[in-house]
């Protein structure tokens, strides 16, 4: 149990079934961490927390909207109240509002950047206050390969994920001296509710482009995230690990 006695927050972890956040929460709990399942919708957060408990782990659910600084601060305060510390933050909450640039509304831009980028900033700031005092912490930001290579129809999403990468590197430089590691993972095509909704033909084409000839599973992302939270990864910070079956090399 490599993460015994450690406390982790996973944002956007309430998507049951195939969510990446849920897979990360289950994997962290399996490694021994107590996990705070944070999500928008209370029933969703409760459901995943119950899944973790049923699997033998420790979890609580906290409802929070990562776009609100008050919610992010309360999320961290309630976690510390409940467990006495905070060792791990996973900034996973994310949304898409795809459209070509000329058709993209200001609202589509704002909601994606606010959730994906500002949300990660607000949660990182709230968590860092505790981690700096503890002189210890691990933060993993869920970016995307689209934040590295860009994608037509996703200017807002790609910009938010590119921003997360720059946030990761900047905070790594600021907080490294306080023994805080912050890294990003950049998943490629992962099988989730989002990709399940795509036509079979498109999914076949995506699979064909991947050197490993399969789409990723949420667990493929979760395994690397857990590794980044362990002491085995203690000399890694400010890095972006691409998890895409070799799609973008
Ligand atoms: P999901 O939509 O399944 O999960 C995201 C979760 O975040 C949902 O539960 C959602 O709640 C929640 N959420 C949305 N807005 C907020 C908010 N303001 N505050 C708190 N929670 C919020 O997505 P995935 O599991 O597919 O993706 C997880 C992460 O991985 C995202 O950051 C995504 O960008 C990234 N990613 C995903 C890839 C993929 O192929 N699926 C590829 C690359 C990166 P609700 O359902 O109520 O909206």
pLDDT one-digit tens code per residue, 85-120: 999 999 999 999 999 999 999 999 999 999 999 999
Q: In Å, what is the CA distance from 30 to each residue of 4, 48, 149, 170, 222?
A: 10, 14, 33, 31, 11
Give the Å distance between the CA of 231 and the centre of ligand 1: 27
Catalytic residue flag (residue 157): yes
Ligand 1 binding pocket includes 40 (Cβ within 6 Å): yes
Give the Å distance between the CA of 32 and the centre of ligand 1: 24
pLDDT one-digit tens code per residue, 23-40: 999 999 999 999 999 999
Asked if 91 and 9 touch (Cβ cutoff 8 Å), the reply is no
What are φ and ψ of residue 91, in 5° steps?
-85, 95
pLDDT one-digit tens code per residue, 154-196: 999 999 999 999 999 999 999 999 999 999 999 999 999 878 8
Integer Cα distance of 73 and 1 in angstroms = 29
Our mutation pick for probing the ligand 1 site, out of 11, 13, 17, 20, counting the most ligand atoms within 8 A of Cβ, is: 20
| Topology, domain 7-242 | Rossmann fold (3.40.50)
Domain ranges of the chain: 7-242
The closest of 121, 143, 123, 135 to 36, measured between CA atoms, is 123
Helices in 197-245 by DSSP H: which ranges?
Answer: 200-209, 218-229
DSSP H or E run through 139 = strand 137-142
Q: What is the pLDDT of residue 39?
A: 97
Integer Cα distance of 242 and 247 in angstroms = 9
Ligand 1 binding pocket includes 20 (Cβ within 6 Å): yes
Give the Å distance between the CA of 152 and the centre of ligand 1: 20
> Which of the following is catalytic: 40, 83, 109, 157?
157
Tokens (6 digits) for 28: 């962290």
């Amino acid at each position: 149990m490599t993460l015994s006695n450690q406390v982790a927050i996973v944002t956007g972890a309430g998507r049951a079934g195939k969510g990446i956040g849920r897979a990360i929460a289950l994997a962290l709990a399996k490694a021994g961490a107590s996990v705070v399942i944070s999500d928008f919708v209370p029933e969703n957060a409760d459901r995943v927390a119950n899944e973790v408990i049923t699997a033998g782990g420790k979890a609580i659910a906290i409802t929070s909207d990562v776009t609100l600084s008050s919610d992010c601060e309360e999320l961290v305060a309630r976690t510390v109240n409940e467990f006495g510390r905070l060792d791990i933050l996973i900034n996973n909450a994310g949304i898409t509002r795809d459209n070509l640039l000329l058709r993209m509304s200001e609202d589509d831009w704002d909601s994606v950047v606010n959730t994906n980028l500002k949300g990660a900033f607000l949660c990182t700031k709230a968590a860092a206050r505790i981690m700096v005092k503890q002189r210890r912490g691990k933060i993993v930001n869920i970016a995307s390969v689209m934040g590295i290579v860009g994608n037509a129809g996703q200017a807002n999403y790609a910009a938010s994920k590119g921003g997360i990468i720059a946030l990761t590197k900047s905070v790594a430089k600021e907080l490294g001296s306080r023994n805080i590691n912050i890294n990003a993972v950049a998943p490629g095509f992962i099988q989730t509710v989002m990709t399940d909704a795509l036509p079979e033909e498109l999914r076949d084409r995506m699979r064909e482009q991947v050197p490993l000839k399969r789409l990723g599973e949420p667990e493929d992302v979760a395994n690397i995230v857990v590794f980044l939270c362990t002491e085995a990864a203690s000399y890694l910070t400010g890095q972006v690990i691409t998890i895409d079956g070799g799609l973008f090399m």
